[in-house]
A and B are shown apart, each in its own frame.
Chain A
């Protein structure tokens, strides 16, 4: 297991590395006058990899993800995507919401194609794409159902398919499995890994589950409690070629989970 404390010092440079599709430089965020959510965050997200933001509730994970998405203005610092500074949401980034954020009045088919509908793709094209990704996330046959007819896990699959369908390079996922029950959650994690191995996306994934972070990530960023700072960056050295069940029994996996747990435990006191 390779472990590196602290993030590289980017201050003063304007150049971004080609290997990092997203770079976060010196980001701070204060809500109002006194809620200091993030403090001088520097991070690089390597292209094609899955990075997890892990930390206790309220440490600013969602805030950081929304700043990267361009939904929230940072108080200080800048985010670069493909080397260009972020000024708002963009087509190269897609978001998967914690509460799914589906349109309750639209069918699964329309929900999945909604991103393409907004960007004015012709109906036939967006339905074809939507059907493809509905298939990919394992919802074939549910095209004409409404969100309220689906379970939590299935709704999040719709959210995932919608994000996939716009063909963004970067997927931003905010605790996508937190509203999903444990069994569904495991299956979903496996399916996600499989899907990503086919689609080659860069994923920025927020969770507060250590097991989930270690299971799905190439890189884990540990955040400290408010104001959120980078506590450590960890790259679990687990082969993705072995089966999901073997990963969960893998010694490196278990050791990494334990190590992070010991590390974060001190914040609980």
Chain B
């Protein structure tokens, strides 16, 4: 954001928005928007509530399981596509379709298929993040200089050694980028999914809060989710940065 050519640091512009929020809240312009300070106070109370903690833990657990499956699936699919022409022609089209499809419309269907529990969260995460991880892994594998795999073969690497000791590490920067993108998509999927169906864990809390016009709680919960997503994605960003130095040294 810039005003009269002055660049305003992101933190500062965030503060401005918070101030506007606070003022709007104090003026009681809209009943769904309580003052920021009240939301913040509610946030402190909320994180101490047992029902919140249980819901957060369940959501977090399902999320972690879903991400683990998505990473495994995505990396395997990406490697298959990157190292095998047939696999690429068979899988490539589907992966691309899924990566760009409006998946949120599928969430209600998942609800029907997998019921109203943890499984739905796991499947949603997998469905939202696997494809982008596969595509980035594929890009990473294609990016590897051919002489690196020739080197491996030349010095006697078995097929598995070639993948685990050379190709995987060479594609790691792109794999991490894909995981970060997948994570963001998964959070989106979860948020959209839970707001749509709001039955499990945090989703139920959301529903309760909005049904009972508890907007302070509602916003506090939203902020917590955003902070979670931010922390996650910056942790992966940090990892990416750690491995970036060798991405730039590749031919």
Q: Which residues of A contact B (CB under 8 A)?
A: 66, 69-71, 88-89, 91, 93-95, 97-99, 101, 103-105, 114-115, 117-119, 146-148, 162, 166
In the complex, which residues of chain A have a beta carbon less than 8 angstroms from the beta carbon of B248?
Answer: 148
- A71:B249 contact, CB within 8 angstroms: no
- A118:B243 contact, CB within 8 angstroms: no
Is B147 in contact with chain A by the CB < 8 A criterion?
A: yes
Q: What are some 22 contacts across the A-B interface (CB < 8 A)?
A: A71-B153, A88-B153, A89-B153, A89-B154, A89-B156, A91-B156, A95-B154, A95-B155, A98-B147, A101-B145, A101-B147, A101-B151, A103-B148, A104-B170, A104-B249, A105-B169, A105-B172, A115-B155, A118-B157, A118-B165, A148-B246, A148-B249
The docked-state distance in angstroms from the alpha carbon of A59 to that of B153 is 25
- B151:A95 contact, CB within 8 angstroms: yes
Q: Which residues of B contact A (CB under 8 A)?
A: 145, 147-148, 150-157, 161, 165-166, 169-170, 172, 243, 245-246, 248-251
- B155:A114 contact, CB within 8 angstroms: yes
In the complex, how many angstroms separate the beta carbon of B120 from the nearest chain A beta carbon? 38
Task: Give the residue of A104, A118, A148 whose beta carbon is less than 8 angstroms from that of B155.
Answer: A118
A166 with B155: in contact, given A71-B150, A99-B147, A103-B169 (CB under 8 Å)?
yes
In the complex, which residues of chain A have a beta carbon less than 8 angstroms from the beta carbon of B147?
Answer: 97-99, 101
- B245:A148 contact, CB within 8 angstroms: yes
- A99:B251 contact, CB within 8 angstroms: yes
The B contact surface, by secondary structure, is helix
- A104:B246 contact, CB within 8 angstroms: yes
- B150:A95 contact, CB within 8 angstroms: yes
The docked-state distance in angstroms from the alpha carbon of A3 to that of B97 is 64
In the complex, how many angstroms separate the beta carbon of B249 from the nearest chain A beta carbon? 4
Nearest B residue to A119 by beta-carbon distance?
B156
In the complex, how many angstroms separate the beta carbon of B107 from the nearest chain A beta carbon? 39
- A101:B156 contact, CB within 8 angstroms: no
- 18 new A-B contacts, CB < 8 A, other than A91-B156, A101-B150, are A88-B153, A94-B154, A97-B151, A98-B147, A99-B145, A99-B147, A99-B251, A101-B148, A103-B148, A103-B170, A104-B246, A105-B169, A105-B172, A114-B155, A118-B165, A148-B249, A162-B155, A166-B155
Nearest B residue to A98 by beta-carbon distance?
B147
Task: Give the residue of B154, B156, B245, B251 whose beta carbon is less than 8 angstroms from that of A71.
Answer: B154
In the complex, which residues of chain B have a beta carbon less than 8 angstroms from the beta carbon of A146?
Answer: 245-246
The docked-state distance in angstroms from the alpha carbon of A89 to that of B162 is 14
The docked-state distance in angstroms from the alpha carbon of A146 to that of B154 is 22
Nearest B residue to A179 by beta-carbon distance?
B251
The docked-state distance in angstroms from the alpha carbon of A147 to that of B161 is 21
Of B147, B155, B161, B243, most buried by chain A (CB within 10 Å of CB) is: B155
Nearest B residue to A100 by beta-carbon distance?
B147
- A105:B243 contact, CB within 8 angstroms: yes
Nearest A residue to B152 by beta-carbon distance?
A118
In the complex, how many angstroms separate the beta carbon of A134 from the nearest chain B beta carbon? 17
- A118:B156 contact, CB within 8 angstroms: yes
In the complex, how many angstroms separate the beta carbon of B175 from the nearest chain A beta carbon? 13
A104 with B150: in contact, given A99-B145, A114-B155, A166-B155 (CB under 8 Å)?
no
The docked-state distance in angstroms from the alpha carbon of A103 to that of B250 is 9
The docked-state distance in angstroms from the alpha carbon of A69 to that of B156 is 11
The docked-state distance in angstroms from the alpha carbon of A70 to that of B155 is 11
- A94:B155 contact, CB within 8 angstroms: yes
In the complex, how many angstroms separate the beta carbon of A168 from the nearest chain B beta carbon? 9
- B155:A105 contact, CB within 8 angstroms: no
In the complex, which residues of chain A have a beta carbon less than 8 angstroms from the beta carbon of B165?
Answer: 117-118
The docked-state distance in angstroms from the alpha carbon of A263 to that of B151 is 35
A104 with B250: in contact, given A99-B147, A118-B165 (CB under 8 Å)?
yes
Nearest B residue to A72 by beta-carbon distance?
B150
Nearest B residue to A97 by beta-carbon distance?
B147
- B156:A115 contact, CB within 8 angstroms: yes
In the complex, how many angstroms separate the beta carbon of A38 from the nearest chain B beta carbon? 18
- B150:A97 contact, CB within 8 angstroms: yes
Task: Give the residue of A69, A103, A148 whose beta carbon is less than 8 angstroms from that of B154.
Answer: A69
The docked-state distance in angstroms from the alpha carbon of A162 to that of B154 is 12
In the complex, how many angstroms separate the beta carbon of B229 from the nearest chain A beta carbon? 29
In the complex, which residues of chain B have a beta carbon less than 8 angstroms from the beta carbon of A71?
Answer: 150, 153-154
In the complex, which residues of chain B have a beta carbon less than 8 angstroms from the beta carbon of A148?
Answer: 245-246, 248-249
